[in-house]
A and B are shown apart, each in its own frame.
Chain A
Amino acid sequence: MTRLLAAVAAAALVAPAALADEIRVLNWQGYGTDADWAVAAFTAATGHTVVHDYFTSEQEMLTRLRTNPGAYDVVLINSAFTPQAAAEGLIRPIDPALVPNLANVDPALFANEDLNPGGVLMGVPWTWGLTSFAVNTNDFPEPPDSLAVFWDPAWKGRVSIRDDALEAVQFAALALGQDINAIDDLDAVRAKLAALMPQIATFWSSENDWNQNMASGLFAVATYWSGSAARSISEGLPIAFVVPEEGAIGWLDGLSVPASSTRVEAAHAFIDWMIDPEFYIRWDAEGAPATSNTLAAAALPETSFNRAVLGDPEVVARVQFMRPVDDATREAYLLLWQELKAAQ
């Protein structure tokens, strides 16, 4: 009898251990996947434990995947880098059957070109954000719905954009209705930015800088990032974030499984948990970027920025997601931008 009990106890101890894996996640530090409560909940639900490793740049992330085969099971890759990682054979196709929550992911994000290189889903859309603009609600009781407001003479001297060549060029391309990832008429962009220059009060350089200039009333309308806007609004700044009819510049982060992963099922289970509404609702309360899961966005409190401003699939449909920019293009944009600034 005692022997039987001991055997049962031993089996009970061994059984979950045989099924439980330790998965290793590669991500930016402090970016959702490594929240203590999230990892604890995942371990409690599945038995799998989670260990984190961090990178400090996209290039470092790629280098780690190349030089440490088998070391990682889940990796965060910005969509602009997913095609490169897939082409190098660093990541494997996602098995949708193992990620039930994929059914609720926004269709536009699910079909994102960069996450589906060659028509195969290589990264699960996880989080996204925008570069668009915000207005001071004291000046705009009713927020504008077009980028044309930047060129409106009524706001001369109270307009601002960030002093960044890529952002400025893509912003002008957006206003002109061009594809930000394949700008075919750079001269039109130059002319559009030249017309914008006299409107500008000053360039903004940081979130803090932006907040001060908005609070002092210097800015009435200025380009801004969605995550920063959410923070500024929660701090009580009277602003409204606008995603205009022309669209906005977006970034998208996906979760992928390295080709060399040996714990593929556990890795998929973790990714599924990462796009689970239950996980996201708690993360949103701590300040998260927008979610890819429409159910999760809809389940947020009505006052949440990620539901009220970004939760509408209509908004996602208007976004142009940033694709990789090669060095030559980057330098051409910088030169254009410097020539415009030098002409002031």
Chain B
Amino acid sequence: MADRGERAATGRALAMLAPAYLWLLFAVFLPLAAMAWFSLLSDLPLRGREWHLTLANYRAFLDSPAYPALLWKSLRIAAVVTLLCLVAGFPCALVLARVIRGRSREALLLLVILPFWSNALVRVFSWTILLRPGGVLDAALSAVLPGEVRLGLAFTETAVVIGLVHSYVPYVILTAYLALQAIDQSLIEAARALGAGRLRILRRILLPLALPGLIAGAVLVFVPVAGSFMEPRLLGGRMGTTFGTVIEDQFVAVFNWPLGAALSFILLAVVLGILAAASPALRRSLG
């Protein structure tokens, strides 16, 4: 009797999980598997083309110094962007979660989420208008300060970082906000009763308890930024070639899907490797 009930429960669980897993199978696993297959081919298996299995696409990564150099550049930019997102996002989340109450908090949260509602391309284009020589930023500074101000930010790596931080900081704010909001107010009151100052409360209670949220936010930022191509292309000018733009070129410009797929999987492997290497430290801080 109990056995049958258990089996029925398992069946119900399966029925409820099935759509999600089927969706994952079709939307994630199959395309990834197709790409993994492409990455091992010498040419796209189209009509009239000769192809065979090969590892040459992966070897191509090592044959040219350009690919490792660009991968390093992409990872470096991703690290800087992640750090800046944390530095900018945490105080914002702190104020939202612990200081502001009521309707104004809702309004501010909405403002944080608002950029998500606009097209990413539009956001990046607006930065090109702001940053270009003689653009909005230069014009505004020239109006306030004496002389013609030329920041020279357009088409530099700094411009790429600015654009990426703007695009990804909401992830950190939202994850940190959720973590901070979940902290029991009585903990803080107890700390205060025991004579802890604001800084000590921040360091000993808020930061450690918000850490899972910050780490989740950092991962959410680091992984896509490492593969980003649109922001570097539009904001970086001639400095904007990254591992992501090289992969995009293989797919879009030269129709070399096998090499593009192989480069994508190398990026995926490196990012997973970084996360795996960091995971003991992360687990300790989360535990």
Contacts and interface: CB of A to CB of B under 8 A. Distances in A.
A218 B249 CA distance: 25
Interface in A205-234: 205, 216-218
Contact of A330 (B67, B73, B135, B254): B254
B2 interface: no
Interface stretch (B94-102, B170-178, B237-245): B237-245
A166 to B, nearest CB: 9
Given A331-B254, A331-B256, A339 B64 contact: yes
Given A164-B253, A217-B134, A331-B254, A339 B238 contact: no
Nearest to B256: A331
Interface residues of B, number: 25
A52 interface: no
Nearest to B70: A342
Contact of B238 (A205, A335, A344): A344
A203 B238 contact: yes
Contact of A344 (B132, B241, B254): B241
Nearest to B259: A331
A331 B254 CA distance: 8
A330 B254 CA distance: 8
Interface in A160-198: 163-165, 197
Contacts of A29: none
A42 B136 CA distance: 55
B179 interface: no
Interface centre among A165, A343, A344 (most CB of B within 10 A): A344
A202 B241 contact: no
Given A342-B65, A343-B69, 16 more contacts: A164-B253, A165-B253, A197-B238, A203-B237, A203-B238, A216-B134, A218-B132, A338-B246, A338-B249, A339-B65, A341-B241, A342-B66, A342-B67, A343-B66, A344-B239, A344-B241
Interface of B: 64-67, 69-70, 73, 132-135, 154-155, 233, 236-241, 246, 249, 253-254, 256
Interface centre among B65, B238, B253 (most CB of A within 10 A): B238
A164 B252 CA distance: 11
Contacts of A330: 254
Contact of A342 (B69, B134, B135, B233): B69
A99 to B, nearest CB: 34
A10 to B, nearest CB: 51
Contacts of B155: 201-202
Contacts of B253: 164-165, 334
A199 to B, nearest CB: 9
A203 B238 CA distance: 6
24 contacts: A163-B233, A164-B253, A200-B237, A200-B238, A201-B154, A201-B238, A202-B154, A202-B155, A205-B233, A216-B132, A216-B134, A218-B133, A330-B254, A331-B256, A334-B249, A334-B253, A335-B66, A338-B70, A338-B241, A342-B73, A342-B241, A343-B69, A344-B238, A344-B241
A335 B259 CA distance: 12
A152 B168 CA distance: 40
Interface centre among A163, A342, A344 (most CB of B within 10 A): A342
B66 to A, nearest CB: 4
A342 B243 CA distance: 9
A163 B154 CA distance: 17
| Closest CB pairs A-B (n = 7) | A202-B237, A341-B241, A342-B66, A339-B66, A202-B155, A200-B238, A342-B70
A334 B241 contact: no
Nearest to A339: B66
Contacts of A335: 64, 66
A38 B177 CA distance: 66
A90 B172 CA distance: 61
A155 to B, nearest CB: 14
A91 to B, nearest CB: 20
Nearest to A163: B233
Contacts of B249: 334, 338
Contacts of B246: 338, 342
Contacts of B236: 202
Interface in A17-69: none
A163 B249 CA distance: 10
A201 B66 contact: no
B134 to A, nearest CB: 7
Contacts of B254: 165, 330-331, 334
A251 to B, nearest CB: 18
A343 B155 CA distance: 15
A216 B256 CA distance: 35
A241 B73 CA distance: 37
A201 B132 CA distance: 10
Nearest to B63: A335
Contacts of B233: 163, 205
Contact of A202 (B65, B134, B238): B238
A200 B239 CA distance: 10
Contacts of B132: 216, 218
Nearest to A161: B238
Contacts of A334: 249, 253-254
B129 to A, nearest CB: 9
A338 B132 CA distance: 25
Contacts of B73: 342
